[in-house]
């Protein structure tokens, strides 16, 4: 047994898999060639998202042959985001590398990404498929539009949000809870906490075998996720700032209409349903709409207060402390 196999891993390579029996052995061989020697101690965390082919058997075989291999099998098919989250939870390395398991990501790009990670003191290094090889109309054009929108909405200036090929500092990725399909927005979620994100060009390789799990339909899902992340980044800690303005407008607009109709009735005896029926209904609808939206905002504020006050971790992240001995002495006093 090598000494590096007995030490806690410095590097963890997390690979989500679903029905990838044709690529696992070659991917493992390439990863082992790149990481062995230069990047050790290392572990390979393969997450089987409940594959229906021979993926689980091959992973069990590899785990039996190499103590660096950790094979997880999920109880059902949860999707890529959850599989990545499971891999991140089980990864023990200080530096975590994630990539797809279909050989479209070349492990030979890992050294350049790790070099950039160290040289720039980044928290995340994201791969950029600068020269994509897939279909322009079905993949590249929608991806370019989606990436442009993600960069504008999130404020993180990178070209490729969609690739899984990334390098993370352990404390950065462990602090992010993933669900839905939010793995594309990890750089944005991390940047919200002050993480530094760097982008490195990587090769984009045609999938050697099997079928892609993604199609044009994912563009619609990405758009809805984009709205979610926009709301989270701007209004997560202050939901009333989002719901307040339309609520106030509804209350003022509806209240103004109802006040006008009230004086019409008092001063001139106007039969409101005959003379101003639609306007009366509009005023009532606007007023009720405003009250409901304000109530949603207030409930959101209460939920966020409960969330932040009920958790152990502070809302802020400390980058460094200068004079730590004085801080500790002040706390003891």
- Closest residue by Cα to residue 124 from 192, 180, 68: 192
Phi, psi of 14 (to 5 degrees): -105, 125
Token pair, residue 292, equals 């409901």
Determine, yes or no, domain membership for 211: yes
Determine, yes or no, domain membership for 56: yes
Cβ atoms 140, 132 nearer than 8 A = yes
Do residues 19 and 132 share a domain? Answer: yes
Cβ atoms 58, 25 nearer than 8 A = yes
Higher pLDDT, 41 or 314: 41
Alpha-helical (H) ranges within the chain are 3-6, 24-35, 55-65, 80-90, 110-119, 141-154, 170-174, 186-192, 218-235, 239-268, 272-275, 277-310, 324-332
Cβ atoms 203, 109 nearer than 8 A = yes
Token pair, residue 109, equals 């790009």
| Residue finishing a domain among 210, 235, 260 | 235
> Of the segments 132-141, 147-156, 258-267, which one has the largest average pLDDT value?
258-267
In the DSSP assignment, the letter for residue 9 is P
Do residues 203 and 252 share a domain? Answer: no
- Closest residue by Cα to residue 198 from 289, 120, 279, 280: 120
Answer whether residue 156 shows pLDDT above 90: no
Q: If you average pLDDT over every residue of the chain, what do you get? A: 83
Answer whether residue 3 shows pLDDT above 80: no
Give me the mean pLDDT over the 116-143 stretch.
81
Answer whether residue 133 shows pLDDT above 80: no
Do residues 218 and 289 share a domain? Answer: no
What's the pLDDT score for residue 217?
54
Do residues 11 and 148 share a domain? Answer: yes
Answer whether residue 259 shows pLDDT above 70: yes
What's the pLDDT score for residue 324?
47
Do residues 228 and 246 share a domain? Answer: no
Determine, yes or no, domain membership for 325: no
| Residue finishing a domain among 187, 213, 235 | 235
Do residues 221 and 251 share a domain? Answer: no
Determine, yes or no, domain membership for 330: no
What's the pLDDT score for residue 327?
43
First-last CA distance in the chain: 50
CA distances from 311 to 172, 287, 307, 314, 315 (A): 18, 37, 6, 8, 9
User: Which residue matches tokens 């696992």?
Assistant: 24
Token pair, residue 96, equals 């975590």
Answer whether residue 46 shows pLDDT above 80: yes
pLDDT band at 1, cuts 50/70/90?
Answer: very low
Task: Give dist(CA 6, CA 259) in Å, integer.
Answer: 78
What's the pLDDT score for residue 158?
83
pLDDT in tens, 234-251: 777 788 888 999 999 999
Phi, psi of 76 (to 5 degrees): -150, 175
Do residues 225 and 255 share a domain? Answer: no
What's the pLDDT score for residue 315?
52
56 is in which domain, residue-wise? 3-235
What's the pLDDT score for residue 109?
95
| Residue finishing a domain among 200, 235, 270 | 235
Q: What CATH number did the domain enclosing 129 receive? A: 3.90.550.10
Answer whether residue 14 shows pLDDT above 50: yes
Determine, yes or no, domain membership for 315: no
């Amino acid at each position: 047994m090598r000494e590096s196999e007995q030490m806690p891993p410095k590097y963890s390579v997390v690979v989500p898999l679903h029905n990838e029996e044709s690529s696992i052995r070659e991917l493992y061989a390439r990863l082992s060639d790149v990481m062995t020697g230069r990047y050790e101690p290392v572990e390979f965390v393969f997450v089987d998202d409940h594959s229906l082919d021979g993926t689980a058997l091959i992973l069990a075989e590899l785990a039996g042959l190499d103590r660096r291999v950790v094979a997880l099998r999920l109880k059902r098919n949860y999707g890529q985001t959850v599989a990545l989250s499971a891999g991140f939870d089980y990864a023990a390395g200080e530096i975590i590398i994630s990539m797809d398991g279909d050989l479209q990501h070349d492990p030979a790009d890992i050294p350049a990404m790790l070099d950039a990670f160290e040289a720039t003191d980044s928290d995340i290094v994201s791969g950029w498929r600068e020269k994509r090889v897939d279909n322009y109309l079905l993949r590249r054009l929608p991806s370019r539009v989606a990436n442009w929108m993600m960069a504008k909405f999130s404020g993180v200036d990178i070209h490729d949000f969609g690739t899984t090929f990334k390098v993370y500092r352990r404390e950065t990725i462990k602090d992010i809870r993933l669900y839905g399909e939010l793995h594309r927005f990890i750089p944005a979620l991390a940047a919200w906490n002050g993480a530094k994100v760097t982008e490195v060009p990587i090769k984009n390789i045609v999938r050697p075998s099997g079928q892609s799990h993604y199609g044009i339909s994912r563009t619609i899902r990405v758009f809805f996720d984009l709205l979610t992340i926009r709301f989270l980044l701007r209004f997560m800690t202050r939901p009333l700032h989002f719901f307040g303005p339309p609520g106030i407008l509804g209350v003022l607009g509806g209240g103004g209409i109802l006040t006008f109709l009230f004086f019409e009735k008092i001063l001139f005896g106007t039969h409101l349903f005959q003379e101003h029926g639609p306007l009366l209904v509009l005023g009532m609808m606007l007023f009720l709409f405003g009250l409901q939206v304000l109530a949603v905002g207030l409930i959101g504020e209460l939920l966020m207060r409960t969330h932040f006050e009920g958790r152990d971790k502070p809302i802020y992240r400390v980058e460094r402390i200068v004079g730590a001995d004085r801080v500790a002495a002040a706390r003891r006093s």
